[in-house]
Structure 1
Amino acid sequence: MVKKNYFLRKFIDHAIKTNGFISRSDNNLPIIMPQSLESEGLRIISWNIYKQQRQNWFSVLNKLVIDKHLILLQEAQPSPQLIKFIISQNLIVDQAPAIVLPQYTSGVMTLSRSHSIYCCSLREQEPLIRLPKSTLITVYSLYNRRNLMIINIHAINFSFGLNIYSRQLHNIEKYIKRHEGPIIFAGDFNTWNRQRTNILKHFTFSLGMKEVNFDIDVRTIIFGYPIDHVFYRNLILLDAEVIKTKSSDHNPISVKFSVK
């Protein structure tokens, strides 16, 4: 029998602070990101996994996470097969569910190889279809005594005008402004027109973030605009690529940073 040495934590619309280990079941998982980040770099994946509805997502995810420190998923459901993956990879998982039904939850999920020291979930309701979208903010301790903030977002999709889309972004602003260390802001931003794209770029630029660009850009395109993005602050970009797959309606993004 596989030893359950992972930790899965789900929460809605609140923040929690963690100090040290959370339960006896995860006593071999670190509370500090490895010191090897200095020489090897910080590797992340961001992927809208489409509720694990397409074939081969499991095998694709297993390949994607090799040597990755953080995996940011959108539209993720803690299905038995995904739990199996979490166990096999010895991961800690925080999820901010957007849709909560008796048989499943679906929302953004951040998987890590070390404990988060702070978590905060935010939700914004779609004005037309009345289903929420969620954002998950997690903070991790680095070996150099700095803290890394990860913001995993699935942005509002269906709306008339830009007010609610802008509000979802600005609800995150206070957390970014309070954080002095490095930041990665990634996910499915649903930037399917020029106005949304401009709002997002102005928002991130005003907070001192840079956008990750790609030599070969095969991100998912809606109405001529890419909808998945990665932004960063106080990190050095080393490498970035978009990986083509038919296992979701989105192509995953792989990025490597230096934390020096």
Structure 2
Amino acid sequence: MPKKTYAMRYVAGQPVEQIFPGVLPHPGPDLPPGAALTNSNVLRIMVWNIFKQQRADWLSVLQGFGKDAQLVLLQEAQTTPELIRFATSNFLAADQVPAFVLPQHPSGVMTLAAAHPVYCCPLREREPLLRLSKSALITVYPLTDGRLLMVVNIHAVNFSIGVDVYSKQLDPIGEQIANHKGPVVMAGDFNAWSRQRINALYGFASNISLQEVRFPADLRRRAFGRPLDFIFYRGLSVTQAQVLETRASDHNPLLVDFLAQQHP
């Protein structure tokens, strides 16, 4: 029997909560209102494959750049006490989808947010060759102008022959994005290291009207000459985008500022 997919929610001073897909309503106009994600015009998002916190200085990079962001999308985040402490003392909610359980702490995508999500949908896809899982997480947050922002945090399957499994992981995400009326950010480690994969990813993004964030100084981690980490968006405007150089992981963090309010 396949393992159940769920998210773990970490909130300061509260017991850890398990959230299963379908427990919260589908994203739509009936979602309950909540506190807005940002109280200013700017929405800052940090995206980083944190390499299971195996290298020194990961915490100082997060403290230096992550704590001023309203959203931090981590991949390969292990729920170590240090990371949970950082998450719960700087953010209102942190949701993690355990992709696979390591001896001590589960590892997977984790979204840290300055507001509580009004929708949360964890997803997992098994690597066909290694039999390990990769995870994705869809969350939705209110913005100050009344719109709902859908955020997709993804760590794409890495080892597969062809792109069938790769596309299969993207399909349920595409369905939810296509049905969402408000702005969207989809970001993470897409493992787009082959021409087939990058074509599948760009085709997928274009089908659901997502644009790619461009980086003036593109220092993203590459494999076979192709970047692995991407940020796609819809219904927002980019004001600033940069890649931070660090040795604290085998990926460099991406930092993007969006204009969060829609002007009439």
Question: Does the TM-score normalized on the shorter chain lie above 0.5?
Answer: yes
Q: How does 1:176-215 map onto structure 2 within 5 Å?
A: 176-215=177-216
Query: For residue 142 of structure 1, what is the amino acid of its counterpart?
Result: L
Alpha-carbon deviations, 1:53-96, whole Å to 9, x = none?
A: 10111111110114210000000011011122123314310111
Aligned to 1:127: 128
Aligned to 1:143: 144
Query: For residue 33 of structure 1, what is the amino acid of its counterpart?
Result: L
SS at structure 1 position matched to 2:35: coil
Query: For residue 135 of structure 1, what is the amino acid of its counterpart?
Result: A
Alpha-carbon deviations, 1:115-173, whole Å to 9, x = none?
A: 00000011110000000100100000112211000000000100111110111111211
Query: For residue 187 of structure 1, what is the amino acid of its counterpart?
Result: G
Take 1:8 and 1:186, find their aligned partners in 2: how far apart are those partners? 25
Query: For residue 17 of structure 1, what is the amino acid of its counterpart?
Result: L
Query: For residue 45 of structure 1, what is the amino acid of its counterpart?
Result: M
Give 5+ residue unaligned stretches, structure 2.
Answer: 1-10, 26-30
Aligned to 2:92: 91
Query: For residue 100 of structure 1, what is the amino acid of its counterpart?
Result: V
TM-score under structure 2 length normalisation: 0.88
CA RMSD of aligned residues (A): 2.0
CA contact under 8 A between 1:45 and 1:255: conserved in structure 2?
Answer: yes
Name the CA shift for 1:108/1:223 in 2 (closer, same or farther; >3 Å): same
CA contact under 8 A between 1:126 and 1:132: conserved in structure 2?
Answer: yes
Establish whether residue 17 from structure 1 lines up as the match of residue 29 from structure 2: no
Establish whether residue 31 from structure 1 lines up as the match of residue 35 from structure 2: yes
Take 2:241 and 2:83, find their aligned partners in 1: how far apart are those partners? 25
141-150 vs 242-251, greater mean Cα deviation: 141-150
Name the CA shift for 1:206/1:51 in 2 (closer, same or farther; >3 Å): same
SS at structure 2 position matched to 1:136: strand
SS at structure 2 position matched to 1:88: helix
Take 1:229 and 1:10, find their aligned partners in 2: how far apart are those partners? 28
TM-score under structure 1 length normalisation: 0.89
Aligned to 1:257: 258
SS at structure 2 position matched to 1:202: helix
Q: How does 1:235-246 map onto structure 2 within 5 Å?
A: 235-246=236-247
Alpha-carbon deviations, 1:29-56, whole Å to 9, x = none?
A: x7322332x2xx1100000000001011
Give 5+ residue unaligned stretches, structure 1.
Answer: 22-29
Name the CA shift for 1:228/1:90 in 2 (closer, same or farther; >3 Å): closer
Alpha-carbon deviations, 1:151-210, whole Å to 9, x = none?
A: 000001001111101111112111011100000000000000111001101110111110
Query: For residue 236 of structure 1, what is the amino acid of its counterpart?
Result: S
TM superposition shift of 1:11: 4.2
Percent identity, please. 48
